[in-house]
Structure 1
């Protein structure tokens, strides 16, 4: 804070000191809410850019106002500045005592008193030496000035990233498509389990549509997913490469550390740039449509798709996602500054746990299936992934999966595509019973029927074009080869279940994955945000 005296001190130095002090007051709640948020890669949308502009404009306006008041006070009443600094110290520290870890236990009021007591003692100790206190405060403000570069730089960077939350451009229409190629459907049913999602079911739970499909399909008894969470599994399935770790680098990008079968690093790739299943199918003349959740497919890999719908799993605070006007946003942050209140839910909320995501994804899927242009359709849906809607459980979600399979078959039969279609259903990871039983929510039926024992196997069911007899495969393999298998079916290389069995035997180099338990970014079972997918 500028010290009292004459006004010969350069105005620029006063402005810098006032900017620095104002910026410190902005830490909570402004920068706390604008710059501290969850993984941007998973967010539905970023903060409205007007909020960043409003915060920067408000910072500048308040600093200019403070500079004017300081220079006016120095010229007319230098003594007033000596009283202002202790007051600012009290106000500054009062903003942070509510965030003390003891606040939930002893109450905000008690925490404020306990927090302000040492500040008051310091102020009293220096009351008669206000000039020294002023000099120390001004020096502190100037020392903290470089922090301006950090906060303003981060705010500017976030502002520039705002367009990256919008869907990326889709692939241009193909000049020549594969007219006689079979229709291909690949469904990833999130957390579908082989043991408790197919082989062993509680009394009263039947899956007639899935059983009917298996009766004319190739089905595996010992298939495994490439990882134990969606964050790693879906990039692995779509690229055909095992993924050891994943780190978000922007709202549109996931940096992948590829892995080998022994759990060692095997190179690096960008999810948006790595060749994927849709690129390879496009090269065969297929227009691809994707309907999925969790990963922002329409931002990351839209360039490989003719149609895309992705359901985000998280949002920022609703009031930050949309600003009605720049002036309104400035008023919003000014009010937050006056009250000193940061949002208690700065990380927003999870958007799909109430079952609405599955309903919307199903509606989007059947809209896509109505369009004959899309001969390659990919679905990733949070079924039978816990939690189920209120009153239901994992096994009730299995009934929803079965109903979806029945509806899929009905629509394809009505359009005359079922008989000649290739249909693959599998999962991105097993039912993680150890995690759910430990941390919930689980039902009594889930716990008593399963004993909370995890089976790492996932279902793998593929109906070949024209197939009418079942074929059960007992070999162990990893479904990371799913995309390559579908490409071989689409090309006509594989036409019988025995050929599929031989192909899997020749191409599979891995069964159980070494990456069942997550990555540093989203480790399992203790992932950030308290959730795993």
Structure 2
């Protein structure tokens, strides 16, 4: 009670003197800004630095808009609080707005920092309640309410001053991380005029080597392609290639997260977590030893390929391949044009991104899916164009192509054979993956490389129905009510293979590097060799999925 005993009717957050006013109001405004805009700064300050790691624009386009949005909001709110020093309905409206909108903002903060999407009904309810409460307080305001109102405002002011300390810490940390990220390798390509490794002599013979083409269709399910295909869906490319390839029916995935699975596939070591430093460099956590280590590009299948005289190339999605593999790739292209969790986009200028968070915050859930689908369509086209150049280059003998299909959200209409951002499903995306596979085969046939090439086609993980917030009627039917089948797609076509077989032996995808090494050295000359080799492998024991970051 002593806390509220001081001058209840005369107290305002403006302080008792001009000096206090100059200090207290900006401090209260800073505290409120910290609470209201944590969702903008949080993704840039998180321990895993995922937003930085996956950023394919300049560091300034990521950090500057966030810092300016924070500063401008702080300045505007300070002005409003100065206006609110005078008692009356305007003061009631300003302070009631700050207090009533806080629960809605906290849900936004939680969503941004955790990666979980709250129920649209909950967010709409909180927002509606805030608007309604604000309107009622302003309309029904009576002078007799002032004593209790000022008590609440005073208490809130004290809490906001403490929050301001956290805001100062956030700003200092933002500046420090932005400084560290200033040298972020923003280039999305590496071409053979910029080779960083010293295998030019070996590369001169790469044109004479048969190609090894490694295709990763993100989230491609074996069950949906071959075992339990949705009625009426036609996948002619998968059917055609399956008849001349070795199809694995019991594949054990290396995890559930693309961020963790891809490094596992490249290194052949089971990794269960990843994290980035503020400068965008990758560290990985080894499941067996429990140790964190810096990702070593020279301990990957691409280094193996260099030793065997191959030219190496990657056209990929989501993972910053060109940044983490610069010394073992002759050609590289990667892209990930989706918005950061705070709505900032990599393909815009810093100035254009100033309103990005505001636009993103006001979008409805379905609209955000449509925006994401649009970004994925752009990524798909860019990756496929880069892949065409690499496949047509005879010196690029090991080519990895990682594509954002059939990964949700839906981005294709299988009935019209057109890209779309609405009314599309995972099943539609399967049809797009089939069309893409047909295109890649045609490119290799036109260059005379298809028959002689080794081709590995796989999903990094299966269709993650357990992570979908909502499945359409068609998707529920295709997945038997949302059942999660863990088996990703896995197929190998050996050079000049014309007869298809199935391999039912359990096969862990952590062995992908070992398989590619044998394809690079031509150690598997027939489907029977491949089948016998898989039978001598010890399947890795995969525990619970522990991927920390999902695309």
Contact 1:294 1:312 in 2 (8 A): yes
- State yes or no: 1:155 paired with 2:174: yes
Instruction: Spell out the pairing of 1:319-358 with structure 2 (5 A cutoff).
Output: 322=348, 343-344=361-362, 352-354=372-374, 356=377, 357-358=379-380
Unaligned runs of 5+ in 1: 71-79, 523-531
2:112 aligned residue: none
Q: After superposition, where does 1:405-424 map in structure 2 within 5 Å?
A: 405-424=437-456
TM-score, length basis structure 2: 0.71
Secondary structure, in 3 states, of the residue corresponding to 1:475?
coil
Q: Find the residue that maps to 2:525 and give its secondary structure.
A: coil
Deviation at 1:185, TM superposition (A): 0.4
Largest Rg, 1 or 2: 1
Show CA shifts across 1:187-230 (max 9, x none).
11222222221133344334333333233323322222211332
1:300 is displaced (CA, Å) by 3.3
Matched, 1:98 2:101: yes
How far off its partner does 1:184 sit?
Answer: 0.9
Separation of aligned partners in 1, 2:428 and 2:73: 53
TM-score, reference length from structure 1: 0.73
Distance 1:443 1:126, change over 3 A: closer
- Asked whether the equivalents of residues 316 and 403 of structure 2 are also in contact (C-alpha less than 8 Å), the reply is yes
> For the residues of structure 1 that align with 2:229 and 2:297, how far apart are their CA atoms?
41
SS in structure 1 of the partner of residue 210 of structure 2:
coil
For residues 233 and 52 of structure 1, do their structure 2 counterparts lie closer, same or farther at Cα, with a shift above 3 Å needed?
A: closer
SS in 1 for 2:489: strand
| CA–CA distance in structure 1, aligned partners of residues 236 and 246 of structure 2 | 17
8 Å CA contact retained: 2:494, 2:526? yes
Q: Answer yes or no: is 1:257 the counterpart of 2:277.
A: no
Matched residues, number:
484
Instruction: Output aligned runs, 1:40-51, within 5 Å.
Output: 40=51, 41-45=53-57, 47-51=61-65
Which of 404, 419, 434 is residue 382 of structure 1 equivalent to?
Answer: 404
Query: For the residues of structure 1 that align with 2:136 and 2:291, how far apart are their CA atoms?
Result: 55
Residue 542 of structure 2 is matched in structure 1 by 513
Residue matched to 1:447: 477
On the 8 A contact 1:187/1:378 being kept in 2, the answer is: yes
Matches within 5 A, 1:42-441: 42-45=54-57, 47-51=61-65, 54=68, 91=94, 94-101=97-104, 103-111=126-134, 124=147, 146-147=165-166, 149-160=168-179, 161=181, 163-164=183-184, 166-167=186-187, 170=190, 171-172=195-196, 174-176=199-201, 177=203, 178-179=205-206, 180-250=208-278, 252-260=280-288, 266-271=290-295, 275-312=299-336, 314-316=338-340, 322=348, 343-344=361-362, 352-354=372-374, 356=377, 357-388=379-410, 389=412, 390-436=422-468, 439-441=469-471
Task: State the 1:360 CA deviation.
Answer: 3.5
> C-alpha separation between the residues in 1 aligned to 2:147 and 2:76?
28
Whether the 8 Å contact between 1:430 and 1:458 is mirrored in structure 2 is: yes
Please state how far the C-alpha of 1:383 moved relative to its aligned partner: 2.4
Distance 1:503 1:117, change over 3 A: farther
2:536 aligns to what SS in structure 1?
helix
Structure 2 counterpart SS, 1:353:
helix
Name the counterpart of 2:33: 26
Distance across 2 between alignment mates of 1:188 and 1:304: 19
By how many angstroms is 1:399 displaced?
A: 3.0
Shift of 1:53: 6.1
**TM-superposition CA deviations, 1:332-367 (whole Å, max 9, x none):** 89xx9xxxx994469995664356143443233213
Secondary structure, aligned partner of 1:304: coil
Give the deviation of 1:115 after TM superposition: 10
**3-state SS of the aligned residue for 1:95?**
helix
Cα distance change of structure 1 residues 448 and 293 upon mapping to structure 2, 3 Å threshold: closer
Moved more, 50-59 or 452-461: 50-59
Q: Identify the range of structure 1 (297-306 vs 236-245) with the bigger mean alpha-carbon deviation.
A: 297-306
- Are 1:33 and 1:346, in contact at CA under 8 Å, matched by a contact in 2? no
SS in 2 for 1:186: strand
Structure 2 alignment gaps of length 5 or more: 1-12, 105-124, 413-421
**Number of the residue aligned with 2:503:** 473
Q: 8 Å contact 1:217–1:461 — kept in the other structure?
A: yes
CA distance, structure 2, for counterparts of residue 28 and residue 138 of structure 1:
13
What CA RMSD, in Å, does the superposition of the two structures yield over aligned residues? 4.6
SS in 2 for 1:289: strand
**Would you say the 8 A contact 1:427–1:458 is kept in 2?**
yes
